[in-house]
Amino acid sequence: MKRNVGILIFEEAEVLDFAGPFEVFAVASEIHDFKLFNVFTLAKEEEAVLAVNGLSVNPTYSYANAPKIDILIVAGGNGTRALMKDQATLDFVKRVYPSCEFLLTICSGARILAALDMLDGKPFCTHNGVYGHMKELAPTAIPEPNKRFTWFDNVYSSGGISAGIDLSFHIVEKLFGKEVADNTSAYMEYEIRYRV
């Protein structure tokens, strides 16, 4: 089954938070006859988004016209402070999540889980500079700062920036096995160091 991977981007999103997972899922599919994943970006509006440090990115879809999403990835970055207060975004995630196979947050994207009250009594990872703010947002959540990524049910969160790559490899391996993950890492010349 080919899965749709939707990566949510926004103003001041951290570049590697979305580009890293994009590359892992897209390359995994590319080197396996494009049969595994259809990977795309999406944003509130279908217009250019300025990521951290000024990188301009054109989302493929908006919230209004995005296709069915099997794996939803929420990037992190400075923009999550505004994003967690954006009702259209919260409504979108709330609407899409129940039909997703997995929901992944990268880095400070965990703030969106907190804003949706999804972390009460649950484990999470985020950027090392965000745990203090997360304690205010979700006081009963269980921080796991010594882990690269963690999960409950079908919700995954990863640590800062590059950890999203490791989480993406974990999902590829979970869905399609070690050989597919290893083929992908060899092509990317990236060593998978975090296996669970």
pLDDT tens, residue order, the chain (196 aa)? 899 999 999 999 999 999 999 999 999 999 999 999 999 999 999 999 999 999 999 999 999 999 999 999 999 999 999 999 999 999 999 999 999 999 999 999 999 999 999 999 999 999 999 999 999 999 999 999 999 999 999 999 999 999 999 999 999 999 999 999 999 999 999 999 888 7
Judge if pTM exceeds 0.95: yes
Class of domain 3-188: alpha beta
Tokens read off for 119: 């972390």
Cβ atoms within 10 Å, residue 36:
23
Sign of CA dihedral 39, 44, 45, 47: negative
**For residues 7 and 38, what is the distance between their CA atoms, to the nearest angstrom?**
11
**For residues 61 and 53, what is the distance between their CA atoms, to the nearest angstrom?**
22
